[in-house]
Chain A
Amino acid sequence: MGAAMKFDFSLILASAPDILRGIGVTLFIWVVCVALGLALGFLIAVARRYGGRVANAVLFVPVEVIRGTPFLVQVFLLYYGGPLIGLSLDNLPAGIIALSVYAAAYYSELWRAGFDAIPKGHLEAADCVGMGPVQTMTRIMLPEMTTLILPAMVNMTILMLKETAILSIISVPELTLTVSALGTQNYAFVESFTVLALIYWALVEACGGAGRWAERRLAKYRFA
């Protein structure tokens, strides 16, 4: 100890522009994958609920397989296995597709819980006042569901921010890869990974704060 413990953060902080670019890429991947995951997850949940028993059974398998296997293995399968079946993707699109599909499986389960939580009476009431299926969805089901599953959605969305770090393993130039490269260049691993952890920590805390704010804002729509 003693002599070995000499941490120098100035080398890392001198590369602030690179780090900012890395943060930008991470946030870009995060926003795109969360948006795609939410949308695809919603479609899966709707198909499983209203598509009959066959659609439910057909979609059950991929959702459970994705939820039951590590994301890293899924990324490897798509990125390294894809070219063998004619699916050659660059690392960024491969990462975005893998992460979006991964997110969709989890979000679909949250949407499903949301559908289950809507009281039947509300749907019957919407029917009675003459709302069509689309109107019932947009004016009754979505707002009611969103407030109920928001805490779980925020949780999953924060998880997604941390999952983006895994894409560094297939060399997507996001935050983790950028800062690891700085560590290698300057031979300052501990410093760079400390900075990296602090950046993620700040991002996650900010995201959690935004989620709590949204929960407070939407609390007035909560009925249960």
Chain B
Amino acid sequence: MSWKLFLLLLEAARLTVILSVVSIGVIGFLLATGVCAANMSQNRFARGAGWLFVSFFRGTPLLVQLLLIYYLLPSIGLDVPSEVAAVAGMSLCTAAYQAEIMRGGFAAVPTGLVEAADMAGMSRLTTFRRIRLPIAFKLTLPGLINEWIMMLKSSSLVSVVGVVELTRMAQDLAASTYRPLELYAAAGFIYLCISIVVALVGRGLEARLSWGRL
């Protein structure tokens, strides 16, 4: 395979990375904190809504979610580029998964620590900020990194709604050069490299958070 083709793939991989960072790392993450807060709240309706959200977006294939959003947006009068539908679909889906991971993290914070903070006279907000949040963050990090890698790979599905990211570029080039074997192998190799980088960064973050084993 020529360098020119590989460079085209790399160029498209940039869009894969941008889409992933925006939808998984930023929008999906923020949405997930909101959903997680709803799931842990005292309000029954908030909990119900959070449960419904998580159940639906974890219970349906991302491909179907993307297709639904892609056709739903124009039918309610929102004519947006397919990249927006892709980001919306990925963000909603990953938010459901990340919210569940976060909830698991908060549930795993030892109650003794929270009680001790209470005894020491910390307010609920201070306990949350100084005890529950940092410990839950540390506990959820491995799960979140795992989810980011899974979702990064799932971003290949946005090729179906016409976003020319890495997979779609490989598809287009394979069709025009009749060399599917090399192109899909190269695309897979690039995905593998990105996954490894994310995993290594995650490993580094976890090592930096190795204070206070629980």
Where the two chains meet, the residues of A that have a C-beta atom closer than 8 Å to any C-beta of B are 1, 4-5, 65, 68-74, 76-77, 80-81, 84-85, 162-163, 165-166, 168-169, 176, 180, 183, 189-190, 193-194, 196-197, 200-201, 204-205, 208
Contacts A68-B196, A70-B154 hold; do A200 and B55 have CB atoms under 8 A apart? no
Q: Is the Cβ of A197 less than 8 Å from the Cβ of B60?
A: yes
Q: Is the Cβ of A1 less than 8 Å from the Cβ of B55?
A: no
Q: Is the Cβ of A169 less than 8 Å from the Cβ of B160?
A: yes
| CB pairs A–B below 8 angstroms (24 shown) | A1-B76, A4-B77, A68-B191, A69-B195, A71-B153, A72-B159, A76-B167, A76-B174, A77-B181, A80-B180, A81-B185, A163-B61, A166-B61, A166-B157, A176-B61, A176-B64, A180-B67, A183-B71, A189-B71, A190-B68, A193-B68, A196-B67, A197-B65, A200-B60
- Please give the number of chain B residues whose Cβ is less than 8 angstroms from any Cβ of chain A in the complex: 39
Q: Is the Cβ of B72 less than 8 Å from the Cβ of A190?
A: yes
Q: How far is the CA of A71 from the CA of B75 in the complex (A)?
A: 30
Q: Is the Cβ of A68 less than 8 Å from the Cβ of B61?
A: no
Q: Which residue of A lies closest to B188 (CB)?
A: A69
Flag whether B31 is at the interface (Cβ < 8 A): no
Q: Is the Cβ of A68 less than 8 Å from the Cβ of B63?
A: no
Q: Is the Cβ of B60 less than 8 Å from the Cβ of A201?
A: yes
Q: How far is the CA of A4 from the CA of B174 in the complex (A)?
A: 38
Q: Is the Cβ of A190 less than 8 Å from the Cβ of B63?
A: no
Q: How far is the CA of A200 from the CA of B65 in the complex (A)?
A: 11
Q: Is the interface of A mostly helix, strand, loop or mixed?
A: helix
Residues of B36-95 at the interface with A, using a CB-CB cut-off of 8 Å, are 55-56, 58-65, 67-68, 71-72, 75-77
Q: How far is the CA of A70 from the CA of B167 in the complex (A)?
A: 9
Q: Closest CB of chain A to B77's CB: distance in Å?
A: 4
Q: Closest CB of chain A to B16's CB: distance in Å?
A: 10
Q: Closest CB of chain B to A197's CB: distance in Å?
A: 5
Q: How far is the CA of A166 from the CA of B67 in the complex (A)?
A: 12
Which chain B residues border A193 with CB–CB below 8 Å? 64, 67-68, 71-72
Flag whether B156 is at the interface (Cβ < 8 A): yes
Q: Is the Cβ of B191 less than 8 Å from the Cβ of A70?
A: yes
Q: Is the Cβ of B77 less than 8 Å from the Cβ of A69?
A: no
Q: How far is the CA of A183 from the CA of B171 in the complex (A)?
A: 24
Which chain B residues border A201 with CB–CB below 8 Å? 55-56, 59-60
Q: Is the Cβ of A166 less than 8 Å from the Cβ of B184?
A: no
Partner of A162, one of B62, B75, B192: B62
Q: Is the Cβ of A204 less than 8 Å from the Cβ of B157?
A: no
- Given A4-B76, A190-B68, A201-B56, output 16 extra A-B contacts at Cβ < 8 Å: A1-B76, A4-B75, A68-B195, A69-B191, A73-B184, A77-B181, A80-B180, A80-B184, A162-B62, A165-B64, A190-B75, A193-B64, A196-B68, A200-B60, A200-B61, A204-B60
Interface centre among B60, B192, B195, by most chain A C-beta atoms within 10 angstroms, is: B60
Q: How far is the CA of A186 from the CA of B108 in the complex (A)?
A: 50
Contacts A193-B64, A197-B65, A204-B60 hold; do A84 and B191 have CB atoms under 8 A apart? no
